Copies of this chain bind each other. A is one copy, B any other.
């Protein structure tokens, strides 16, 4: 299937750690694949809204290409970005009733659209599918906990280092043969700031600091990790 070309072959698409991957032989390629065929493919331009906070939750999506952000707003305009989604990631399938946050395309994006009701209906009769869904949510929960200690207890510098490490592991280098330590950030500094609970300026200063210390090279969107160990240390991301 051509879709797999969009994903890094060695990484598991729905982020299930190796320990949980004692999966049965015929695991589908992506979480929602079993719901095809008859799936709609939809495209969104940069900054276009995929769905909005408070809207009736009817569809969920799988990213085929591009990058999507989820956003929550406080009424005075403060914005928080819940996560960035890359090819293979799934969006909105734990929503019930209303979307609790909005979703917008960071770059021109291709998504596959599924009905949440179809997901629910399938889960109600297919145990394997239900199990994979459950594991997906469990992963989301564990990831969320990681984000909380980042937001609650880490300094600006640590958050930025952690962010770079996360992106290094999640962004597939666009250039064929480009090595893993070099990648293009699809999102703006403002997006990064709203993801990390900081401001644009603080993100810039943090990146500048890391550059001056020779840990990374940055030029606009292009980032190269020069000293991975140094970056891991700067992020306090010990694998306890």
User: A17 contacts B97, CB within 8 Å?
Assistant: yes
* CB contact between A145 and one of B20, B101, B133, B196 (< 8 Å): that residue: B101
- For the complex, what is the distance from the CA of A154 to the CA of B72, rounded to whole Å? 12
Residues of B within 8 A of A138 (CB): 94, 96, 137
User: B97 contacts A145, CB within 8 Å?
Assistant: no
Given A127-B124, A131-B124, verify A145-B75 contact (CB < 8 Å).
no
A35 at interface by CB-CB < 8 Å: no
A13 at interface by CB-CB < 8 Å: no
Most buried by B among A20, A124, A138, A142: A138
A236 at interface by CB-CB < 8 Å: yes
- The quantity of this chain's copies bound in the complex is 2
Q: Which residue of B lies closest to A71 (CB)?
A: B149
User: B151 contacts A53, CB within 8 Å?
Assistant: no
Restricting to A4-57, which residues have a CB under 8 Å from any CB of B?
17, 19-20, 53-54
A175 at interface by CB-CB < 8 Å: no
- For the complex, what is the distance from the CA of A132 to the CA of B142, rounded to whole Å? 18
- For the complex, what is the distance from the CA of A101 to the CA of B145, rounded to whole Å? 9
A211 at interface by CB-CB < 8 Å: no
